A and B are shown apart, each in its own frame.
Chain A
Amino acid sequence: MSQSHTLPLSDALPQDPREERDHFHDRLFRYAVTGCATFVLIALLGAAFSMLWGGREAFSTFGVQFLWSADWDAVQKKFGALVPIYGTLVTALIAMIIAVPVSFGIALFLTEIAPAWLRTPVAAAIELLAGIPSIIYGMWGLFVFVPFMAEHVDPWLDEHLGPLAIVGPLFQGAPIGLGMLTAGIVLGIMVIPFISSVTREVFVTVPVHLKESAYAVGNTTWEVVWDIVLPYTRSAVVGGIFLGLGRALGETMAVTFVLGNSHRLTASLLEPGNSIAATIANEFTEADSSVYLSSLIALGFLLFIVTFIVLAVARLMLSQLARRGGTTS
């Protein structure tokens, strides 16, 4: 972006004092907003770099093996990030599988189907849900949802899906209610308000004449939604999903309550696991050796990297989807 393009006045010599003043104010405004944007970048880089610096002892002791070692032994002072990384990704994936379709449903119901008098109160209720502190979800998860999973869902999954050939190992295990599946579901419920309130906002912005024209040529509600509303709002919807995904990856308190906090690698979703954020929250206060502390900070740095990679991959996939959508329509 060239200078003259953003500020057409800068080349012309300002003559009258008013123009000069405007010119000055314009420049001031530009510095101010550039400063805001730079601040975010500096904060991000600063946080990432200080984590990397804090984690340098872990990286230098364990090398790249830190990434795929499943060890986590404070007595032997051997640490590896595989179990927390795996748990973080799996719980976030389960959360998104649940949250994305449900959020779309909520947003579409509110913009296309619900009677007008119902829309505002329900939208307000969703925003209220978004404001609930995560520890409340954690306590609800532990005291209400975990017993429900232990008594009804886990035994059923173990019995019916456990013996299956390929997906079977995912659903075998003692029905204790705690575990990655429970954590994923609680996370899903937590991120629904984020995704649905963003999607609802942008669905409202679809011009009425586009939708009305589609209905006029005989489209069903589903066709209008799929062919008109979603393509029109795609980038904003993606933004909403990313907001939810970012929250799911970094959520700490609620996950700690229901995940089981156990450093063992297991295929089963019913078994307890660990996530990066939960490990840090659990173990930071009593990390009694410098390499232990450093490993926890290194985990924090890896959470940055994991989040970055997940978001990049998601964006790539979506842009490819968009291209394909562009050629077929």
Chain B
Amino acid sequence: MKNTVFSRLKLHVAAAGVASMLMTSAFAADITGAGSTFVYPILSKWSTTYNAKTGSKINYQSIGSGGGIAQIKAGTVTFGASDKPLPPEELKEAGLVQFPIVIGGVVPVVNLEVAKAGDMRFSGPVLADIFLGKIEKWNDPAIAALNPSLSLPDQKITIVHRSDGSGTTFNWVNYLSKVSDEWKTKVGEGTSVNWPVGVGGKGNEGVAAYVNQIKGSIGYVELAYAMQNKMKYTEVKNKAGNFVDPSLATFQAAAANAEWKAQDFFEVITDAAGKDSWPITASVFVMMYKQPKEATTSADALKFFKWALNEGQADAKELDYVALPAPLVKQIEAYWAQNIK
């Protein structure tokens, strides 16, 4: 008796197993992605919305841009995401395509009693000199000249940078390299660099915490962190010579003014031209295979990105990201049609 009940149970289990296998195969396989932590909040928001709409699941692991590039090259994920674009030769060698997916921005933040959010003004070269350790005090003539209305204290500047490698750092030092030759030769650019001075915080949240803790400090974070933590962001002089506030509008201006002429969108849009452009605007890139092994999954991922670029804009705004300008979206869609089989 016992035996028959048991075997019947086993039969049920087996049937259920077969049924569930059939059900999953009826849907497409999950889309997997890995890479940039910068893009994680918006990608996870998009995937929730998209999943509710279509039932497709996107499984994104924010292991860092370097990890994302390694994973896509190893072919273990459908797409990789990186804050740092790969040069066309490297893409060609690996059989990959690359396109921007969303725009964000890096913002200098200070902890200084005399300044309110948006009060302080910096220029690129002054920021570079501060981060090189050449400007040591807040009342340095170079800072005072940009901020005549503030009575700056005779206080030491403490620099806060990222201790982990990150796309935020990459865009920040890329900007400093563009505006300061000394930075370019002495420090250079990369996801992590050899900082001449300062303390390192882990992640945007680590930098935000350090800047909030240390009086007289300056650091850099993504806009969302500056806003959420009510930090004192600053204005920065852009290439056109205007002082601009970090905001979605100035990020958008920078993205619109970037030319995107380079092959495979190999372009870092910091120090963009245009009178309203925020100078430290960053874009996140997605990498996929030209001839993917799993063609259907890859096609599903493209459908997802198409949806994200066109309809995901509201989600992006909510999280302080900027959707790509319409002409660029057209350009990307043409690029897909041309390159992905």
Contact = CB atoms under 8 A, between A and B. Distances in A.
Given A174-B156, A282-B163, A285-B66, A256 B214 contact: no
A272 B200 contact: yes
Contacts of B166: 286
Given A260-B199, A261-B201, A286-B65, A75 B193 contact: yes
Interface residues of A, number: 30
A52 B116 CA distance: 51
Contact of B193 (A74, A257, A281, A282): A74
A250 to B, nearest CB: 18
A137 interface: no
A223 interface: no
A222 B195 CA distance: 52
B25 interface: no
B37 to A, nearest CB: 8
Interface stretch (A31-39, A142-150, A238-246): A142-150
B165 A283 contact: yes
A16 interface: no
Nearest to A272: B199
B306 interface: no
B38 to A, nearest CB: 11
Contacts of B192: 74, 283, 286
Taking chain A's interface residues, is the majority helix, strand, or loop, or is none over half, making it mixed?
A: loop
B224 interface: no
Interface in A32-86: 71-76
B36 to A, nearest CB: 10
B118 interface: no
A257 B199 CA distance: 11
Interface in B297-325: none
Interface in B43-95: 63-67, 69
A165 to B, nearest CB: 25
Contacts of B66: 285-288
B191 A286 contact: yes
Interface string A183-200: 000000000000000000
Interface stretch (B97-105, B182-190, B255-263, B275-283): B182-190
B178 interface: no
Contacts of B195: 262-263
B194 interface: yes
A178 interface: yes
Contacts of B67: 285-286
A262 B202 CA distance: 11
Nearest to B210: A178
A207 B198 CA distance: 55
Contacts of A288: 65-66, 69, 165, 190-191
A13 B217 CA distance: 81
Interface in B144-187: 156, 158, 163-166, 187
A177 B194 contact: no
Contacts of A74: 165, 190-194
A115 B97 CA distance: 74
A59 to B, nearest CB: 21
Given A76-B194, A285-B66, A261 B165 contact: no
Nearest to A147: B213
B282 to A, nearest CB: 15
B218 to A, nearest CB: 13
A262 B187 contact: no
A176 B199 CA distance: 9
Q: Closest 4 interchain pairs by CB?
A: A286-B165, A261-B200, A261-B163, A288-B66
Interface of A: 71-76, 142-143, 146-147, 150, 174, 176-178, 256-257, 260-263, 272, 278, 281-283, 285-288
10 contacts: A72-B194, A75-B190, A146-B213, A147-B213, A178-B214, A262-B163, A281-B202, A282-B164, A286-B165, A287-B165
Interface of B: 63-67, 69, 156, 158, 163-166, 187-195, 198-202, 206, 209-210, 213-215, 217
Given A75-B193, A150-B214, A176-B217, 14 more contacts: A72-B194, A74-B165, A142-B209, A143-B213, A177-B213, A177-B214, A261-B202, A262-B163, A263-B194, A285-B64, A286-B164, A286-B166, A288-B69, A288-B190
